[in-house]
Amino acid sequence: MKSAASRHVDAAKPADAMSSQKSTRRRVAASALVWALLLTAPYWLPLTGGYTDLGSRVLVFSLAALGLNLLLGFTGGLSFGHAAYFGLGAYGTGLMLKFVTHSTPLALLAGVALGGLGATLFGPVTVRRRGIYFAMITIAIGQMFYFVAVRWNSLTGGEDGLTGFERTNIHFGHAILNLHNSTIFYYFTLFFFAIGCAVVWSVLRSPLGHTFVAIRENQKRLRFLGVSVGFYLWIAFAISGFIAALAGALYALLNNFTSPEDLNWVLSGDFVIICVLGGMRTFWGPLVGSVIYVVVQDYLSSITVNWMSFIGAIFVLAVLFFPWGLLGFFQRRIQK
Amino acid sequence: MRDQDGFGISRRDLLKAGVAIGVGTFLYPGIGAFAKSDDPVKIGHIDPQTGTYAALGGSQIAGAKLAIDQINAKGGILGRPVQLLVEDSAANVGQSVQKARKLVNRNKVHFLMGAVSSAVALALSQAAHDMNVLYLDIGGHADAVTGSKCHWNTFRTCSTTWLLTAGDFKTIFDKFGKKWYFLTPDYAFGHALHRDYVSQLKQAGGQELGNALAPLGTTDFSSYLIKAKSTNPDVLIVLNAGNDMINTLKQATQFGLNKDMAVGGAMMEMEVLESLPEAARYGYWNMEWYWQQPNVPHVKEFVDAYKKHNADKVPTARSWFGFASAHALALAAEKAKSLNTMKVVKALEGLELPPEVSLQPNKAIYRAGDHQLIGSEYPGQINKSGSYPNLFDVADVVDASKIARSVEAKGCKMTYPS
């Protein structure tokens, strides 16, 4: 049944070998440029008025959006509750560092496991419905975690947020990775961002990924072909939950702090906005969206308290004029 | 359709995206900031300008601005002009932490100050500790900031929750009775106030009939008020702040609660009083500073100067927090002759505010042991028939050093970096 799905996609690919070769080369060049920019960010960011922590923030948000985009852009499931898994990742990491261990990698692992398993557990509940109902259920589940975090004062610190933990250095024998240094933490984040990218990229390349796309394109037909759509949606939901949790875990380490806001549906909405702004059918869309969102927020919120209106305006304009997101727009222009 | 496997991106896309990013970063203010010299002394001020505490934050900012103007008029700090960089926290903890990191990492501020919400104050205290920056909490009251969670680099201008409750506990208890019901906002500040009142209540032989926890930013308090009424207490203690307090008192009036029981609490603010309709103005409260102190020198000049800059509004306790805090930072830096965090911290320890800054009959000193400013409390009663700005009758000015708990009792163990 997988092959059926992939054949469906293959048929839609441009048959022209020349052009496909050209586009492959383009793609490689583009990816190389993205990675080069990301790898050198700590060196050119200060020159443009940014700062390293801002770079780490962009990475964290794009990683979360990348995870969400696997579900939203490639499988066609509009989740408004991904902040829940992001926040669970953050709380898992923070609680682990605060109460159990001083090992950053272990805490990170705990956070990813907590958030990812949360998504895996609640996935089957959500995938039974599509469209607006799917979105509603994901919001409801997300808000459930939010209120648990707000009310469970003794463990989570309630509305005050979780304080009293900090990322610790990693020891490799004699070598020490000094995570307190912003630049080193940026590369630490970039490393996990790369892992997230690699996971999403290989999933999309695999028959599994083709099935996801097929679900987005024509769910009914897949059902007739005997594909268990709910099952694949669940897998997409779980993978994207794990990646969002990884982003959340990194976010907790970045701020040495986490609060119920990290679980709130408002943040889920931000992730969706990031995907849509950047282009939710493109691989690098979430990164572009995240750059726009985080930088605009950082810059405008110093100037005006009404910065959200500007984000809103940008979003409305983007949806009106770039319904495929910025990257999607350019990609389509080139193909014409 | 290309996008079906379209996780690729062409070179031209990328070039265009690069241009977009380039333009974006060009609009970014950093380049301009780079060209300017690093000369001014920068104070990062994080306070809510939106949300439930916007009015309170606004007063703190106005007070700080007035102080900065005065400092600059006198030649700045160490001969350098002072710049106040204000950021909106929206009383949102996550956003505040992010802003603190931005102010320190991008703007390279020398000091951080601000906070209305205790939760924000605690989070900022920790973030500043991570970054080795002096943080002056000017309006977040929870004991822990200068108590169990005290840090070597954190100071506080406003009272502790203990001082707020101890300011008027005895009067309310003696006057109205010993069966109390609490309405508490569900976060650090509310919990701390409640705990402090209850421990005094138990010691005095009183009884807590119940405690309703309402989330920050609640607009409908009716269910909590009905619960309070059903227990029939002598006193209803309202521990909310900002708009939450306004909503509570308005609704308590509609339910006629103020006819059946005494209403009071630990903290009343001018901003709240201003917004209350006359029918909802009642109760016995504690203020931390009041503009009407005819026998205290310099108060009148401060009030006049503030009114001139702020559309004839009188300064509130919050304005004074901002004012005194900015001055305290300048005084400490002058005393230390340095902007080095540790040196300024040492200078601020034990610093007594001069009369033109302290603006109160008692001494105001940043206690060295826990970095808490010990000044005065102003318990009193709402002036029911008064019109703005005569809305409060101060019954007594309490010297905080007489009611403050010791550093040990507060649980602060200060450790300095080696």
Asked if B186's CB is within 8 angstroms of A159's CB, the reply is: yes
Contact state of A331 with B6 under an 8 Å Cβ cutoff: yes
In chain B, the largest separation of any two C-alpha atoms, in whole Å, equals 81
A296 pLDDT band, cuts 50/70/90, is confident
pLDDT of residue B15: 60
Chain centroid, CA B220 distance in Å: 24
Q: Give chain B positions within 8 Å (CB) of A48.
A: 25-26, 28, 30-31
Higher pLDDT, A43 or A10: A43
In chain B, whose CA is at the least distance from the CA of A288? B17
A85 closest CA partner among A261, A273, A241: A241
Of A42-56, B96-110, B284-298, the least confident: A42-56
**Among A27, A217, A262, whose Cβ lies nearest the Cβ of B10?**
A27
Average pLDDT over residues A119-141: 87
Residue A104 pLDDT class (50, 70, 90 cuts): confident
**Residues of A in Cβ contact (< 8 Å) with B30:** 46-50
* Residue A319 binned pLDDT confidence (cut-offs 50, 70, 90): confident
pLDDT at A113 over 60: yes
Domain boundaries, chain A: 50-264
Query: Given pLDDT bands bounded at 50, 70 and 90, which one contains residue A112?
Result: very high
A8: pLDDT confidence band, cut at 50, 70 and 90? very low
Task: Supply the DSSP string of A282-318, one letter for each residue.
Answer: SSSHHHHHHHHHHHHHHHHHHH-TTHHHHHHHHHHHH
Instruction: Express as a percent the part of chain A with pLDDT over 70.
Output: 93
Contact flag A49-B30 (C-beta cutoff 8 Å): yes
The answer to whether the CB atoms of A50 and B28 lie below 8 A apart is yes
The structure tokens 């710049």 sit at: B83
Q: Inspect the interface and report whether the beta carbons of A159 and B119 lie closer than 8 Å.
A: yes
- How crowded is the C-beta side of B398, counted as CA atoms within 13 Å? 23
B414 Cα to chain A: minimum distance (Å): 15
What local confidence, expressed as pLDDT, does residue B23 receive? Answer: 55
Contacts of A33 in chain B (CB under 8 A): 11, 14, 18
Contact B9 A14 (CB under 8 A): no
- Measured between CA atoms, how close is B99 to chain A, in angstroms? 8
Query: Residue B30 and residue A46: Cβ atoms within 8 Å?
Result: yes
pLDDT of residue B24: 52
Cβ-defined contact of A159 to B2 (cutoff 8 Å): no
Q: Are strands B373-374 and B365-366 parallel, antiparallel or unpaired?
A: antiparallel
In the numeric block, which tokens belong to residue A298?
């950082």
Asked whether residue B298 carries a pLDDT value surpassing 70, the answer given is yes
Q: Which residue of A has its CA nearest to B16?
A: A330
Q: Note whether B346 and B134 are within 8 A (CB).
A: no
A54-63, A135-144, A156-165: segment of lowest average pLDDT = A156-165
Q: B263-282 burial, b if ≥16 CB within 10 A, otherwise e? A: bbbbbbbbbbbebbeeebbb
Q: What angle do CA A120, A268, B47 make, to 5 degrees?
A: 135
- Is residue A256 over pLDDT 90? no
Looking from the CA of B24 toward its CB, the CA atoms found within 13 Å total: 21
CA B153 to chain A, closest CA, distance in angstroms equals 15
Q: What is the pLDDT of residue A42?
A: 83
Residue A11 has pLDDT above 70, yes or no: no
Across A37-51, A97-111, A239-253, B33-47, least confident range:
B33-47
Read off the pLDDT of residues B167-214 as tens digits, 9 standing for 90 and up: 888 888 988 888 999 999 887 788 889 999 999 999 999 999 999 998
Q: Test B8 with A23 for CB contact under 8 angstroms.
A: yes
pLDDT at position A18: 61
Selecting from B20, B119, B130 the residue whose C-beta is nearest the C-beta of A256 gives: B130
Stretch among A221-225, A305-309, B148-152 having the lowest mean pLDDT = A305-309
For residue A232, pLDDT over 50 is answered with yes
| Region class of B242: left (phi > 0), else alpha (psi between -120 and 50), else beta | left
| pLDDT band, very low/low/confident/very high, at B417 (cuts 50, 70, 90) | confident
Please give the pLDDT value at position A245: 94
- Is the model's pLDDT at A193 over the cut of 80? yes
pLDDT at A280: 83
Model confidence at A116, pLDDT cuts 50, 70, 90, reads very high
In this complex, the residue of B9, B88, B92 whose CB is nearest that of residue A261 is: B92
* Cβ atoms of A255 and A86 closer than 8 Å: no
User: pLDDT at position B20, please?
Assistant: 59
Residues B149, A217: C-beta atoms closer than 8 Å: no
Q: Do A292 and B92 count as a contact with CB atoms less than 8 A apart? A: no
Which of B55, B56, B188 has the alpha carbon at shortest distance from B124?
B188
The confidence score (pLDDT) of residue B19 equals 60
A153 band by pLDDT with thresholds 50, 70 and 90: confident
Out of A279-283, B28-32, B131-135, pick the least confident.
Answer: B28-32
Of A57-71, A215-229, A242-256, least confident by mean pLDDT is A215-229
Please give the pLDDT value at position A1: 44
Residue type for position B409: A
How many other β-carbons are positioned within 10 Å of the β-carbon of residue A85? 38
Record: contact A284-B4, CB cut-off 8 A:
no
pLDDT digits (tens, 9 = 90+) for B315-338: 999 999 999 999 999 999 999 988
Give me the domains of chain B, ranges plus CATH numbers: 41-160+292-375 (3.40.50.2300), 162-287 (3.40.50.2300)
- Residue contact B123–A295, C-beta within 8 A: no
What was the ipTM of the complex prediction?
0.74
A-chain CB neighbours of B5 within 8 Å are: 9, 13, 204, 210, 213
Of B371, B360, B366, B370, which is closest to residue B320 (Cα–Cα)?
Answer: B360
Nearest CA in chain A to B91: A160
Query: Could A161 and B92 be called an inter-chain contact, meaning their C-beta atoms sit closer than 8 Å?
Result: no
Nearest CB neighbour to B10, from listed A161, A326, A334: A334
What is the reported pLDDT for B384? 83
Structure token pair of residue B414: 């200060």
Helices (H), chain A: 2-12, 17-44, 52-72, 82-95, 104-126, 131-151, 153-156, 182-205, 207-217, 219-224, 229-255, 265-278, 285-303, 307-321, 325-335
Give the chain B residue whose CA is nearest to the CA of A160: B119
Closest CA to B263 of B225, B318, B207: B225
Are A23 and B10 a contacting pair at CB < 8 A? yes
Q: What percent of chain B has pLDDT over 70?
A: 91
Q: Does residue A7 carry a pLDDT above 90?
A: no
E strand or H helix at A322: none
CA–CA min distance B131, chain A (Å):
10
Q: At A150, which amino acid appears? A: V
Structure confidence at residue B32 as a pLDDT band (50, 70, 90): very low
> pLDDT band for position A6 (50/70/90)?
very low
When pLDDT is cut at 50, 70 and 90, the band that residue B36 belongs to is very low
Band of residue A17 on the pLDDT scale cut at 50, 70, 90? low
Q: How many helices (H) and strands (E) would you count in chain B?
A: 17, 15
Q: What kind and span of H or E run contains B35?
A: helix B30-35
Which residues of A fall within a CB distance of 8 Å from B106? 49-51, 54
Chain B residues with CB under 8 Å of A210 CB are 5
